[in-house]
Structure 1
Amino acid sequence: MNKLLLFSFLGILLGSCSQEPEDSKRVIFAGEIVNPTSDQVVLFKGQQALDTAFLDENNRFVFRLDSVAQGLHHFVHRPESQYVYFEAGDSLQIRLNTSDFDESLVFSGKGEEINNFILELFLTREEEEELINSYYLLEPEEFHKKIDSLKAMKLALLSQIETEYEISPAASDLAKSFIDYGSNISMEAYPFYHRRRSGEGKMHEDLPASFYDYRQSINYNDHNLTYLRPYYNFMKYHISNLAYNSCKKYCDDDLEKANRQLHFNKHKLKLIDSLVTQKELRDNLFRNVAIDYLLRHDTEENTDEFISSFKRYSDNNSHNTEIFTLYEGINNMQPAKDLPDFTVESYDGRKVKLSDIQKGDSVVFYFWSGTEPGHFRNINKRVEELKQKYPAYRFIGLNMRTDLAKWKSMVKTSGLDETEQYWTDDYDQTVQTLIVYDPNKAILTKNGKIIDAFSHLYRSF
């Protein structure tokens, strides 16, 4: 769509919004999605789904919200999502193309300035990632200067926007928090990444006294920032950093290697308990530690001990169902156990259990999605290499998060063996049952039994 048509479309939306009954609190959020991957858009405030809007025949949607809390929200058009910031009386329109979701997204209408700025900060952070990675080789003082320089440029741009447009104090504070915590993430990550990039055997012991000055102004319980990604990601790095230094200071250096992950993550649980009281952030941070630890596949004894500690600190966590489902799922996927009772669909439409697919054979199950074409190409190339190297194994592809018709089309046009490809219709159930948190995960089976349910297509062969 050219710019003239785009402006015409937005004008129609604006006109239709202006015909709504006058209400200073009402919020209108509407738009068009090119190449939709779902028939709906879901609006969230934190974890709570506020409303669902279905796409019409022109792939347009509209939310009319008579009462909505001021602040940060996000909308989901599966499998993608992005922020949207609302204030009373906003009338926002978007247009995006799912083939380039974030980069194609544009806000217009009342409230567009802060939303486009937040989006630009989000995209800039992604673009800066390679540059910041190169900075981790620098010594602390020079690294600090580089990060401060990037932060100063963003603050200057925000100041310019505040001069040119009417931005509310709340919106300005949110934007500043996005900038501040985005910068602080890099500072917290520096000791770990410097060691990794430089090849040094230990963490920096001589950071300048001012290196962590920003910590004096950390708010551990700002409910307005709970779902702001830079704030949450900062908290994760920060807690890990504090736990590492606490352990280095107070714990024995000769901890058995087999127990280090358990020990370190128990430190993190204790720190979250002591620092964070805001319920949602607290629950989310506890969840992060639990999921991260469980996916490292520690010994069964250590895992049981970790779960006991987790329950002691966060027994009423809102994510308990997910965490204990993962815990149970990992236990069910241990070597020598049968594959879970999980049903998939064959190319010719038959419902088939995994145990029937691999009965009597040596099989490697791997996973792919039609929403990630780059990964799809790479993984098929890797599987072809492995087929040549391990002819005794059958390699079975399990597709997730793809429309059935699109999956069949991709199998056919890519020249894949239809008898080796299967489709799953429930993404969440697939992830939880087969523990698919890594896109390059593989499950090795032989004679109906699990050999290794946490193998990796690139590292394990």
Structure 2
Amino acid sequence: MIRFLSLLILVGVWGCQEAVEDSNPVYISGEIVNPTDPYVILFKGEEPLDSALLDAQNRFVLRIDSLENGLYNFFHRPEFQYIYLEQGDSIQVRLNTVAFDESLVFSGSGEGVNNFLIDFFLESEGEENLIREMFIPMEPSAFSVKLDSLKARKLRQLDELKTEFPITEGAYHTAKASILYKNYYYKEKYPFWHRKLTGDAKGVHELPEDFYAYRSEVTYDDPSLTFLKPYHDFMIFHIGNLAYMGCKKACEISSDNKVGNQLHFNQHQLQLIDSLVTGDELRDNLFRTVAFDYLLKYDSQENLDQFMSDFHKRSENNRHNQEIDALSEAIRKLSTDEVMPDLTVEDAAGKVHSLRDIAGAGPVVFYFWSGPQQHHLANITRRIGSLKEEYKEYRFVGICLRTEKARWNSMVSTYGLNAEDQYWAEDFEDFAHTLVVYHPYKSIVARNGKIVNGFANLNTSF
């Protein structure tokens, strides 16, 4: 889900670091088995740097004549993964989209650090459940010992890699930061996970004085780490943790009620980002993350307006302002009793229909799915089956996004979906932005052409 949400909100990209004077070209070549898109795109920061068209054998070659050493994003729709590049590198990539990350292998110059990073990524995906189940129930001191032992093992592996492959200081710094900030992330999460798993009614566990000692090592202005996932994930939860703890103390409250208030809590987060974070890109990205998180938990237009006012005061020149303002306006247009947006979809026969007309035919629940997310489609199909039994008066209409039309038709048949209640949307971005489709279980309830609930959730709203 994280990857799904992430792709709908923003194509994940990775920043750059330490300019190198040499002008040796960089070559990235490879083969993609079972491609899902004709192109491979390399991103730098938030801009596409270059792209390559797959040939008849699903192979590609990228040549970049000049670049800065650092993290880049290798993107083959709808999947992505970062790649560390340095001047003069010649890297071969091979992957199978059926298991994109698991099959991804690098060879050639730079293979050492890139294979380490992808292995670390895969290991981290699996270890979080282990840490939640085995480490989180422990008392704080025991938890720290176990977690630091895990960190030490990974650092030893990195040092061993350094003896086997020529790794520059920049590459080593990036790999080490992945390890450290993943460790810090678990430390930030511990009090909240522990309370939830143990059912502690007393609230957040009292922690040793040195539990957050690592915070003295945290940097808020390292541009080489801005788009590194472990660093970015840590920063998001770190800011949220500081806002929560600070509010409980400074706001002089005896319960979580005020802390849990979305407007109040997110105003604290905006204040912290403004006062702590000095790196421009990191500031902009964290402000954007807080804004999206708040806006997508829409509670009232009055609170939304107050939040947007505070947001613009603290993030006046944010490069994401246009996107955030557009989201705010789209949310307003999905308020109760607003007219259903007049977007169009196609049925299996190719006939065009207006969502407004579909909504005018009676009470309707619109939900959304996509071809690449087949596990999600299976889950959502089961859920819709249950809801149809309970809410017989509603028509449940599925809208397929980000999928070729021929594949959509095939999947409707394969999954036994009622073709009369399934439609295909050609313009994914228009739908995602207009209908605020940033959650996999997002749905819209409409009646007589007007919105009843523009932010319903198939799992929690019925």
Amino acid in structure 2 at the alignment position of 1:411 = V
Structure 1 residue aligned with 2:31: 32
User: What are the superposed Cα offsets for residues 283-340 of structure 1, whole Å, 9 maximum, x if unpaired?
Assistant: 0000000000111112211111110000000011111122111111111111111111
Structure 2 residue aligned with 1:344: 345
Structure 1 residue aligned with 2:236: 236
Structure 2 residue aligned with 1:51: 50
Query: Any residues of structure 2 matched to 1:303-342 within 5 Å, and which?
Result: 303-342=304-343
Deviation at 1:252, TM superposition (A): 3.3
Amino acid in structure 2 at the alignment position of 1:357 = I
Amino acid in structure 2 at the alignment position of 1:121 = F
1:272 aligns with 2:273: yes
Instruction: Tell me if structure 1 keeps the 8 A contact 2:365–2:397.
Output: yes
Amino acid in structure 2 at the alignment position of 1:51 = D
Q: 1:390 to 1:322 in 2, by over 3 A?
A: same
For residues 114 and 258 of structure 1, the distance between their equivalents in structure 2, rounded to whole angstroms, comes to 42
Q: 1:164 to 1:259 in 2, by over 3 A?
A: closer
Structure 1 residue aligned with 2:409: 408
Structure 2 residue aligned with 1:13: none
Query: Any residues of structure 2 matched to 1:110-121 within 5 Å, and which?
Result: 110-121=109-120
Query: Any residues of structure 2 matched to 1:211-250 within 5 Å, and which?
Result: 211-250=211-250
Deviation at 1:178, TM superposition (A): 0.5
For residues 131 and 113 of structure 1, the distance between their equivalents in structure 2, rounded to whole angstroms, comes to 27
Instruction: Tell me if structure 1 keeps the 8 A contact 2:194–2:205.
Output: no
Identity of aligned residues (%): 51
For residues 125 and 336 of structure 2, the distance between their equivalents in structure 1, rounded to whole angstroms, comes to 39
Q: 1:257 to 1:242 in 2, by over 3 A?
A: closer
Structure 1 residue aligned with 2:125: 126
Query: Any residues of structure 2 matched to 1:163-182 within 5 Å, and which?
Result: 163-182=163-182
Instruction: Tell me if structure 1 keeps the 8 A contact 2:330–2:433.
Output: yes
Amino acid in structure 2 at the alignment position of 1:138 = M
Deviation at 1:59, TM superposition (A): 0.9
For residues 194 and 260 of structure 2, the distance between their equivalents in structure 1, rounded to whole angstroms, comes to 25
User: What are the superposed Cα offsets for residues 75-97 of structure 1, whole Å, 9 maximum, x if unpaired?
Assistant: 11111100100111110011111
**Residue aligned with 1:158, SS:** helix
User: What are the superposed Cα offsets for residues 378-432 of structure 1, whole Å, 9 maximum, x if unpaired?
Assistant: 1111111211221111110001111111111111222222111111122222111
**Residue aligned with 1:74, SS:** strand
Instruction: Tell me if structure 2 keeps the 8 A contact 1:43–1:52.
Output: yes
Deviation at 1:257, TM superposition (A): 5.0
Structure 2 residue aligned with 1:11: none
Deviation at 1:343, TM superposition (A): 1.4
Which TM-score applies when normalising by structure 2? Answer: 0.92
Amino acid in structure 1 at the alignment position of 2:430 = Q
Amino acid in structure 1 at the alignment position of 2:53 = F
Amino acid in structure 1 at the alignment position of 2:157 = L
User: What are the superposed Cα offsets for residues 120-141 of structure 1, whole Å, 9 maximum, x if unpaired?
Assistant: 1111100101101112222111
Structure 2 residue aligned with 1:108: 107
**Residue aligned with 1:84, SS:** strand
Query: Any residues of structure 2 matched to 1:275-294 within 5 Å, and which?
Result: 275-294=276-295
Query: Any residues of structure 2 matched to 1:72-91 within 5 Å, and which?
Result: 72-91=71-90
For residues 74 and 84 of structure 2, the distance between their equivalents in structure 1, rounded to whole angstroms, comes to 10
User: What are the superposed Cα offsets for residues 201-224 of structure 1, whole Å, 9 maximum, x if unpaired?
Assistant: 344352112211111111100000
Structure 2 residue aligned with 1:4: none
The structure whose RCO (Cα within 8 Å, separation 6+) is larger is 2
Structure 1 residue aligned with 2:156: 156
Amino acid in structure 1 at the alignment position of 2:77 = R
For residues 62 and 203 of structure 1, the distance between their equivalents in structure 2, rounded to whole angstroms, comes to 55
Give ranges in structure 1 of 5+ residues lacking alignment: 1-22
* Count, aligned residues: 439
Instruction: Tell me if structure 1 keeps the 8 A contact 2:244–2:259.
Output: no
For residues 213 and 454 of structure 1, the distance between their equivalents in structure 2, rounded to whole angstroms, comes to 41
For residues 295 and 196 of structure 1, the distance between their equivalents in structure 2, rounded to whole angstroms, comes to 24
**Residue aligned with 2:48, SS:** strand
Amino acid in structure 2 at the alignment position of 1:406 = R
Instruction: Tell me if structure 2 keeps the 8 A contact 1:363–1:394.
Output: yes
Structure 1 residue aligned with 2:387: 386
For residues 165 and 190 of structure 2, the distance between their equivalents in structure 1, rounded to whole angstroms, comes to 36
Amino acid in structure 2 at the alignment position of 1:50 = L
Instruction: Tell me if structure 2 keeps the 8 A contact 1:41–1:53.
Output: yes
Amino acid in structure 1 at the alignment position of 2:454 = A
Instruction: Tell me if structure 2 keeps the 8 A contact 1:226–1:232.
Output: yes
Q: 1:414 to 1:205 in 2, by over 3 A?
A: closer
Runs (4 or more) in structure 1 with deviation over 4 Å come to 254-259
Amino acid in structure 2 at the alignment position of 1:155 = L
Structure 2 residue aligned with 1:355: 356
For residues 361 and 354 of structure 2, the distance between their equivalents in structure 1, rounded to whole angstroms, comes to 14
Instruction: Tell me if structure 1 keeps the 8 A contact 2:358–2:449.
Output: no
Which TM-score applies when normalising by structure 1? Answer: 0.93
Give ranges in structure 2 of 5+ residues lacking alignment: 1-21
For residues 69 and 173 of structure 1, the distance between their equivalents in structure 2, rounded to whole angstroms, comes to 15
Instruction: Tell me if structure 1 keeps the 8 A contact 2:258–2:264.
Output: no
**Residue aligned with 1:272, SS:** helix
Structure 2 residue aligned with 1:19: none
For residues 30 and 447 of structure 1, the distance between their equivalents in structure 2, rounded to whole angstroms, comes to 54
Q: 1:178 to 1:276 in 2, by over 3 A?
A: same
Instruction: Tell me if structure 2 keeps the 8 A contact 1:259–1:302.
Output: no
For residues 97 and 393 of structure 1, the distance between their equivalents in structure 2, rounded to whole angstroms, comes to 41
Instruction: Tell me if structure 1 keeps the 8 A contact 2:195–2:205.
Output: no
For residues 342 and 72 of structure 2, the distance between their equivalents in structure 1, rounded to whole angstroms, comes to 38
**Residue aligned with 1:57, SS:** coil
Structure 2 residue aligned with 1:297: 298
**Residue aligned with 1:358, SS:** helix
For residues 51 and 258 of structure 1, the distance between their equivalents in structure 2, rounded to whole angstroms, comes to 45
For residues 275 and 85 of structure 1, the distance between their equivalents in structure 2, rounded to whole angstroms, comes to 28
